[in-house]
Amino acid sequence: MAKRFDLLIFDWDGTLMDSAGVIVACIQAASRDMGLPEPSREAASHIIGLGLRQALDALFPGLSESESYDLVERYRHHYLAQDAAIPLFRGARELLRELHDRGHTLAVATGKARRGLERAFAHTGLAGYFHASRTADETHSKPHPAMIEELLDELMFTPERALMIGDTTHDLHMARNAGIASLAAGYGAHPVESLAELAPLAVCPSFADLATWLRQNA
């Protein structure tokens, strides 16, 4: 089957790695450490995909600069204690290898910082499958289109040949803002109904469904 999309851009947390629950728990733990109101699981899940500072500022508006810094550090303390053990979704490694071998160009656009993505690459051994990546600390955070636009420029693809794959409305809004198609991972941080409202090509209820869609349609 001829390739429909040359460039496949993956979000990381909640799309390839089963980390959404860990992120929520770390946000809640950091808020308790700081004596702040603990956000609900729904509220904490909603900001997954944004850059860390932007995400925490959205959850806790009005903090001073020093309080915001301390909150970020408490989050990192909890997350770094366990990030090496967070698993990929079952079948993710095999899918990436298959897509790479089929000739797709693969990229990552993530709300992680560069250091966080490099740690994830090191823990999983997946760096070799990706041709380029963008993180929230080196360009505009989602849903701004900059990550996608920069990847398109670097890898020399037109928007119609690219597909964004992510589990949050921030991913799908970013794709829409950049003028590319999107595919929703309905097993991640954001509700299926919210993802469907942004008209992705499909909403996949499990990683296995996402892998099947990509094999048959990408």
121-164 per-position pLDDT tens digit: 999 999 999 999 999 999 999 999 999 999 999 999 999 999 99
> Where are the chain's structural domains?
7-18+88-217, 20-84
Question: 124 and 26 in contact (C-beta within 8 Å)?
Answer: no
Fold that domain 7-18+88-217 belongs to in CATH: Rossmann fold (3.40.50)
Q: For residue 190, give the nearest of 181, 198, 180, 179 by alpha carbon.
A: 198
Residue range 20-84 forms a domain whose CATH class is mainly alpha
CB atoms closer than 10 angstroms to residue 91: 15
DSSP assignment letter at 160: G
- pLDDT given at position 125: 96
Measured torsion, CA atoms of residues 44, 50, 53, 54, in degrees rounded to the nearest 10 = -90
pTM: 0.95
Residue 1: pLDDT band with limits 50, 70, 90: low
Residue 95 in this model has a pLDDT that exceeds 60:
yes
- pLDDT given at position 139: 96
Question: What are the structure tokens assigned to 33, written together?
Answer: 């450490």
CB atoms closer than 10 angstroms to residue 46: 22
- pLDDT given at position 3: 77
pLDDT tens, 19-46?
999 999 999 999 999 999 999 999 999 9
Question: What are the structure tokens assigned to 198, written together?
Answer: 């942004």
Q: What is the mean pLDDT of the chain?
A: 96
CB atoms closer than 10 angstroms to residue 146: 17
Q: For residue 162, give the nearest of 16, 15, 9 by alpha carbon.
A: 9
